[in-house]
């Protein structure tokens, strides 16, 4: 399956870090029929009593109302969701392409399930996200078949 790169809006709640917070946020969304693709929850290292929950997608009236009821609001951090077939080293290639283009990453969350990967990446501003989209698509394009250098195999051997 080809690489897909799309802009997404994460919905976020900054909350007290305590047992049950995640369930209180997710239950109204589940009741509204939300089919979430991304859910991140984390404690702030410098303020351990506070945490954040971020998720995607929130769309439609029922789900949007449930998100508001749960204390979520659309985040203003530009974000891309990148999905595709996993291959060893692709994450390093993507990171190098962004670094070489001078693009700073605000956050990154990645996972591989089976043979597929998904990455949510946040950026400082819309211009950085737009440029990153181009760089990621370019870095994720299938590598062209390369011929091995002469004498390195792949060709017919001559008998003497």
- CA dihedral (93, 94, 96, 102) in degrees, to 10, reads 160
> What are 19's two structure tokens?
């047992």
Q: What is the DSSP string of 21-63?
A: HHHHHHHHHHHTT---SEEEEEEETTEEEEEEEEEE---SHHH
Q: Give the pLDDT means over successive 10-residue stretches in the chain (160 positions).
A: 92 96 97 96 94 96 97 97 93 94 96 95 97 91 48 52
Q: Which CATH class is domain 79-139?
A: alpha beta
Q: In the prediction, which pLDDT does 2 show?
A: 83
From residue 98, how far is each of 85, 103, 121, 132, 133 by CA, in Å? 20, 5, 11, 6, 10
Whole-model pTM over 0.85: no
At residue 144, the pLDDT reads: 45
Q: What is the pLDDT of residue 147?
A: 43
- How confident is the model at residue 141, as a pLDDT? 63
Q: What is the model's pLDDT at position 160?
A: 53
CB atoms within 10 A of CB 86: 14
Q: Give residue 159's pLDDT.
A: 54
Residue 57, preceding bond cis, omega within 30 degrees?
Answer: yes
Q: Which CATH code fits 10-73?
A: 3.30.70.260
Asked, colleague to colleague, whether 10-73 and 79-139 share their fold, the answer is yes
Domain ranges of the chain: 10-73, 79-139
Long-range contacts from 124-128, C-beta under 8 angstroms, 24+ separation: 124/78, 125/78, 126/78, 128/78, 128/103, 128/104
* Cα separation, 123 vs 67, whole angstroms: 23
């Amino acid at each position: 399956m080809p690489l897909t790169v799309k802009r997404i809006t994460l919905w976020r709640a900054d909350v007290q870090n305590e047992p049950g917070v995640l369930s209180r946020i997710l239950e109204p969304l589940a009741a509204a029929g939300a089919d979430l693709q991304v859910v991140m929850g984390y404690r702030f290292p410098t303020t351990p009593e506070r945490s954040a929950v971020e998720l995607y997608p929130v769309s439609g009236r029922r789900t949007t109302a449930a998100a508001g009821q749960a204390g979520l609001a659309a985040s203003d951090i530009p974000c891309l969701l990148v999905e595709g077939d996993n291959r060893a080293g692709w994450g390093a290639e993507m990171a190098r392409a962004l670094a070489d283009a001078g693009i700073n990453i605000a956050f990154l969350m990645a996972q591989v399930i089976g043979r597929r990967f998904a990455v949510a990446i946040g950026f400082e501003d819309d211009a950085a996200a737009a440029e990153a989209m181009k760089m990621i698509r370019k870095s994720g394009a299938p590598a062209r078949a390369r011929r091995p250098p002469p004498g390195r195999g792949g060709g017919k051997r001559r008998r003497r």
